[in-house]
Structure 1
Amino acid sequence: MLRRNLLTSAAMSLGLAMTGSVAMADAMDHVKACFVYVGPIGDGGWTYQHHQGALAVQEAYGDKVEVQWQENVPEGADAERVLTQMALGGCNIIFTTSFGYMDPTNAVAAKFPDVKFEHATGFRRDSENVSTYNARFYEGRAVEGLIAGRMTKSNKIGYIASFPIPEVIMGINSYYLNAKKVNPDVELSVVWAFTWFDPAKEADAAKAMIEQGVDVIAAHTDSTAPLAEAAKSNGAVIGFGQASDMTEYGPSPRVSSVIDNWAPYYVKRVGALFDGTYEQVDAWEGIAGGEVGIGEISDAVPADVKAEAEALRDAIAAGTVHPFTGPINKQDGSAWLAEGQTAPDGDLLGMGFYVEGITGDIPQ
């Protein structure tokens, strides 16, 4: 039931190439683009943003494209059934928007070689008609971490984590490291919710942190519940929008956000079917490519902190700053990155450890 999972060395040997070499189709006059969602389009977070990308495709190409989607598709056998129905129903390209769809995506793609399959956050491309795409969310976590480190009054910051997989672990580490850089006294609490979307569980996690004195909360789950819980503190606790901007909770407790912007990728990929340039790809873009956005920093953040956060955002986009730059040790004190060394993509995509300074264990 995981949207993403640990990458094996064998998986990483498939490569991190942004563009393949095999042209997949001739130009098309009309495209039926289909989307499979793990949650409801009204979740206010992950699925909502994917659906905004689908709507952007419709807006970009008008009646040249037909957009179809299905919400709340469980990861597993049900996904394979839905994908088969979509392929039989005339979908030319199918976007599967959760890690747990990886096996079903590749299984169904093998049966329908003329249909293009695009899998979000996965790594397997068993057939030439399967592509993968992801976003460097850890870049946004670095900006959140800076704000958290500067704004905490208790020196206790929190992170609501979904599942112990590399994407989430690298987000935790990036958030903590960049908070620690600006506030050496900061301490991080991590609560594992073991869900992508469960507002009650997410709210309980936020409440538990607040009771422990945490006054800045980041979340790697899909609902607005952590911000709603923070809002009860009458300004004592701040947080961030996750996947979507969540501006309805601004200017506080929501002081900024990490926005998943899938629209550029979806518009580009459908466009490639129209002009005959479609190729198999493995894409991993970030702030520079527009797939990761930093929501407007609210007036609840002091002007100097806002300027510092925006400068970090811009430096990451320009490639002059990497959120994981050594010296960095692993949690057990062993060396990971030397002075000035930046983390290789393979290390990030297979990350299964906390960095030095974070307490607690990663669930197995």
Structure 2
Amino acid sequence: MFSLRKSAVLIIALVMVLTFGLMGCGSDSDTDDSDKLKVGFVFVGPAGDHGWSYTHDQGRKYLEEELPYVKTTTLESVSDNDAEKAITQLVEQGNKIIFTTSFGFMDPTISVAEKYPDVTFMHCSGYKTAGNAGNYFGRIYQPRYLSGLAAGKMTKTNVIGYVAAFPIPEVVRGINAFTLGVREVNPDAVVKVVWTQTWLDPPKEKDAAKSLLEQNADVIAQHQDSPGPLQAAEEKGVYSIGYNCDMSKFAPKGYLTSPVWNWGPYYVDVVKSVKEGTWKSEAYWGSMADQVVDLAAMSSLVPDDVKKLVEDKKGKITSGEWDVFTGPIKDQKGNIKVPEGKKMSDEEMLGFDWFVEGVEGTIDN
């Protein structure tokens, strides 16, 4: 009997230790989290895509490092159809600021914002706003133009391939900026476009690049989230230009540079303004001067004179002396669309539905 009683006491004591121990751990964690400002992120792809979602996740990490009072939550690989459900889930989890990071999330963001007026929403790359919802993007066309300068100087066949995602103004604008850079230094070069109708599909995007290589392209550029196009170029032994971040590790023998994103400082500014009560709904379109967009370091394959050319043009852009879509600019048929000396308005650039001279491809694919 004594042995049984002793065993029972020991078991009860052990249960009490484990229970209180677990309660203590949970309590500490809950206390820490309850003191923090919860910020949610919705990604269209995985954070490890080495592309678009990766850059936003790097910005999220930067946010937590710079603002210790912030606790972030991410939902990855969310489709447009599931976006409203995902955004609502983040709200119900207590997130007070939510960043939705894909063009297709625009309408779902506005819809959820109307239901939760006490939460701040920021949508990336769209154009709609509400009292508690703003939008943000960067003038990635600026570094795309600079990368076009490098491509135009490096091509020998005068055929440059461009693997493009969807025929929307954002992507069209990037192709046009890139082509203007190419043609400024090489009027004989053309930019051939292939649409994939994907943001992230490495095999399909790699195959699209291969089709361009078969058309004698010796430089491959892209508006895709995977390094597939670069890998196709690397296997063929030709030059490549990445996108989103420095993709040099995927094509070490042929990589030239990449137009890149730097979201971290912007995320910090937004969260600070919400916390301090100074946030206002706006449509933010940051430039190279803001450093939200930039051109990655050019590789050793790029000659010094080309690097200097690119740096000189970058200086004119960041100083505000000049911008990419300043006339004269012709369309594919040779018609003047932007007269000499005139600069396209933001509204015109945001609604791009035509290609500049030098692009081979159509927009209605």
Partner of 1:92: 96
Flag the structure with higher helix content: 2
Rounded Cα–Cα distance in structure 2 between residues aligned with 1:171 and 1:85: 33
Q: Does 1:292 align with 2:293?
A: yes
Contact 2:230 2:251 in 1 (8 A): no
Rounded Cα–Cα distance in structure 1 between residues aligned with 2:61 and 2:143: 24
Partner of 1:266: 267
Rounded Cα–Cα distance in structure 2 between residues aligned with 1:172 and 1:42: 25
Amino acid at match of 2:54: Y
Rounded Cα–Cα distance in structure 1 between residues aligned with 2:254 and 2:272: 39
* Structure 1: 4+ residue segments shifted above 3 A: 249-252
Report matched runs for 1:239-254 at 5 Å.
239-249=240-250, 251-254=252-255
Partner of 1:71: 76
The CA deviation at 1:250 is 5.5
Q: Over the residues paired in the alignment, what is the CA RMSD in angstroms? A: 1.4
SS in 2 for 1:243: coil
In the alignment, structure 2 segments of 5+ residues that lack a partner are: 1-33
Partner of 1:276: 277
Rounded Cα–Cα distance in structure 1 between residues aligned with 2:330 and 2:46: 39
The CA deviation at 1:182 is 0.6
Partner of 1:31: 37
The CA deviation at 1:102 is 0.9
- Note closer, same or farther for the CA distance 1:111–1:52 as it changes in structure 2 (3 Å cut): same
Rounded Cα–Cα distance in structure 1 between residues aligned with 2:286 and 2:338: 22
Q: Does 1:312 align with 2:309?
A: no
Q: Does 1:230 align with 2:233?
A: yes
Contact 2:328 2:339 in 1 (8 A): yes
Report matched runs for 1:7-46 at 5 Å.
30-46=36-52
SS in 2 for 1:289: coil
* Matched residues, number: 332
Partner of 1:49: 55
Contact 1:141 1:171 in 2 (8 A): yes
The CA deviation at 1:43 is 0.5
The CA deviation at 1:241 is 2.0
- Note closer, same or farther for the CA distance 1:231–1:359 as it changes in structure 2 (3 Å cut): closer
Report matched runs for 1:1-364 at 5 Å.
30-62=36-68, 64-76=69-81, 78-125=82-129, 127-234=130-237, 237-249=238-250, 251-363=252-364
Contact 1:164 1:362 in 2 (8 A): yes
The CA deviation at 1:322 is 1.1
Rounded Cα–Cα distance in structure 1 between residues aligned with 2:185 and 2:276: 48
Contact 2:183 2:358 in 1 (8 A): no
Map Cα deviations across residues 153-203 of structure 1 (whole Å, 9 max, x no partner): 111111111001111111111111111111111011101111000000110
Map Cα deviations across residues 105-152 of structure 1 (whole Å, 9 max, x no partner): 011111110000000011111x31101001111111100110011010
Rounded Cα–Cα distance in structure 1 between residues aligned with 2:184 and 2:344: 17
Map Cα deviations across residues 35-92 of structure 1 (whole Å, 9 max, x no partner): 0000001110100000001101100112x1111001001112x111111111111001
- Note closer, same or farther for the CA distance 1:29–1:336 as it changes in structure 2 (3 Å cut): farther
Amino acid at match of 1:114: D
Amino acid at match of 2:63: V
User: Does 29-38 or 246-255 show the bigger shift?
Assistant: 246-255
Amino acid at match of 2:49: D
Contact 1:80 1:108 in 2 (8 A): yes
TM-score (norm 2): 0.88
Rounded Cα–Cα distance in structure 1 between residues aligned with 2:155 and 2:246: 21
Rounded Cα–Cα distance in structure 1 between residues aligned with 2:169 and 2:308: 30
The CA deviation at 1:29 is 7.0
Rounded Cα–Cα distance in structure 1 between residues aligned with 2:36 and 2:218: 51
Rounded Cα–Cα distance in structure 1 between residues aligned with 2:356 and 2:190: 13
Identity among equivalent positions (%) equals 44
Rounded Cα–Cα distance in structure 2 between residues aligned with 1:333 and 1:154: 23
